[in-house]
Amino acid sequence: MTTRHHSLAKNKIKFLMLEGIHAQGLDEIRRSGYQWIVTEAQAPPPEQLAEMIEDVHFLGIRSRTQLSAELLDRARKLTAIGCFCIGTDQVDLTEARRRGIPVFNAPYANTRSVAELVLAEIILLMRGIPARNAGAHRGQWLKSARGSHEVRGKTLGILGYGHIGSQLGILAEGLGMRVIYFDITAKLPLGNAEPRTSMEQVLEQADVVSIHVPDTARTRNMIDEQALARMQPGAHLINAARGRIVDIPALAAALRDGRLAGAAIDVFPAEPKGGDEVFESELRGMDNVLLTPHIGGSTQEAQQNIALDVAVKLVRYSDNGSTMGAVNFPEVSLPDHASARRIMHIHRNEPGVLQAVNGVISGASINIAAQYLQTLPDVGYVVMDLETDDAPALVRELDRIPATIRTRFLY
Ligand code: NAI
């Protein structure tokens, strides 16, 4: 693997922003002094992209651009990748790291959007609106108070009290709900929320259960027949987390039997890849179930937040070397480099590299004002603030260290 480095003035740094990234992100980059921004509304096919990224320093993509090792090899100047979305599966993260390229995303920019949708679903479910709405569309007039409840004073059970779960809890308390939750790690309760020591307790005590855990080996089919059987008769279930957490046939059975009064499901074990594929689910046609096409986090505001969040992370990495929030890279949070020269050295994490780096610097009789190091098993990232007037000479020396992947210094 050849060494790559760049130490450029801002007007020489090229951003390629694909897939119609929100204007707010582009504005943020421009405001930070970078004017060379090329935008593209679509995800170009791989052959075209391979040509487009040859001279690009920062690449912004969304979920449709696949970045393989072969493509990364063509991007010889690529310094960082911004995934302007939540997931990063579309990028070969390990291969990017091995080439010294951190990848950033915006994992929590749509927290509020999900929490608001779930809040609305709680009210709609507890009033029996899905079935009454379906009936009205067919000409039925289901005017009765049967099974219709205010949410005030009812108990909301939250499974997974992370970003979304805890925000939902606060919003639900605003409506007068009682909030209980279970999380596998100890979480500080917000407002008047009360932790429970097991998922079972939450299932047994809640009028409505909302799931906000990640997709892990432990959460897969976590809500199965036994779990559903623990829920109160007439309770409601909401899943806007991940599709494999709920056993859908078991849920369909509980709804059919009338043990559960209703459900709102946004995510499914198998989801259509695009608008032309048919959505198949055992829950289709059930009047008491709200079905939404994985749009819990899909709002204009979330798109803006994502754009801003990722743009800031790219700019911060370019301006100061900070890798906080990178999904594939040693995370280093850095103060501004006031007077000293900042040199960033990305290397294969082999014995003796740091010694070699320090050897180069002490060999040049340069004083190290500050040094920050983080490593992952395969890659290390060291940032140094040095009192030197000749950073380019030092970069050339550092590039000679065999384990060097990339060296960069800041203007
Ligand atoms: P987060 O990482 O902030 O919180 C997840 C919480 O679940 C953590 O506190 C964790 O300790 C806890 N947890 C993990 N395993 C658990 C278990 N077995 N039992 C109980 N608690 C457990 O995640 P965030 O941002 O709150 O997202 C929650 C879920 O929502 C994720 O699955 C995420 O993928 C999904 N999501 C769905 C969206 C949609 O469009 N429907 C949009 C955004 C997120």
Answer yes or no: are the C-beta atoms of 69 and 47 closer than 8 Å.
no
- Is CATH 3.40.50.720 the right assignment for the domain spanning 111-291? yes
Asked, colleague to colleague, whether 111-291 and 330-411 share their fold, the answer is no
Q: What is the largest CA-CA distance in the chain?
A: 86
Q: Which residues pair with 380 in a beta bridge?
A: 347, 375
CATH of domain 330-411: 3.30.70.260
Torsion of CA 160, 161, 165, 170, to 10 degrees: 150
Of the residues 198, 212, 299, 303, which should be mutated to test ligand 1's pocket, given the most ligand atoms within 8 Å of the CB?
Answer: 212
pLDDT level of residue 243 (50, 70, 90 thresholds): very high
Tell the residue nearest (CA) to atom 25 of ligand 1.
163
What's the confidence (pLDDT) of residue 226? 98
Distance from Cα 16 to the centre of ligand 1, integer Å: 31
Q: Treating both helix axes as pointing N-terminal to C-terminal, what angle do 111-126 and 163-174 enclose, rounded to 10 degrees?
A: 50
Question: Whole-prediction pTM value?
Answer: 0.87
- Cα–Cα distance measured from residue 245 to residue 251, given in angstroms and rounded to the nearest whole number: 11
The predicted-structure confidence for 79-131, as pLDDT tens digits, reads as follows 999 999 988 999 999 999 999 999 999 999 999 999 999 999 999 999 999 99
What are the domain boundaries of the chain? 1-109+299-329, 111-291, 330-411
Q: Tell me which CATH homologous superfamily contains domain 1-109+299-329.
A: NAD(P)-binding Rossmann-like Domain (3.40.50.720)
- The radius of gyration of the chain from alpha carbons, rounded to an integer in Å, stands at 26
Contact 112, 167 (CB under 8 A): yes
Positions annotated as catalytic residues are 242, 271, 294
Task: Report the alpha-carbon distance of residue 237 to residue 265 in Å, rounded.
Answer: 8
Ligand 1 pocket at CB < 6 A = 86, 108, 110-111, 114, 159-165, 182-185, 187, 212-216, 218-219, 240-242, 266-267, 294, 296-297
Q: Which amino acid is at 396?
A: R
Instruction: With beta carbons less than 8 A apart as the criterion, state whether 20 and 41 touch.
Output: yes
Confidence of residue 274 (pLDDT cuts 50, 70, 90): confident
Structural contact between residues 213 and 160, judged by C-beta atoms closer than 8 angstroms: yes
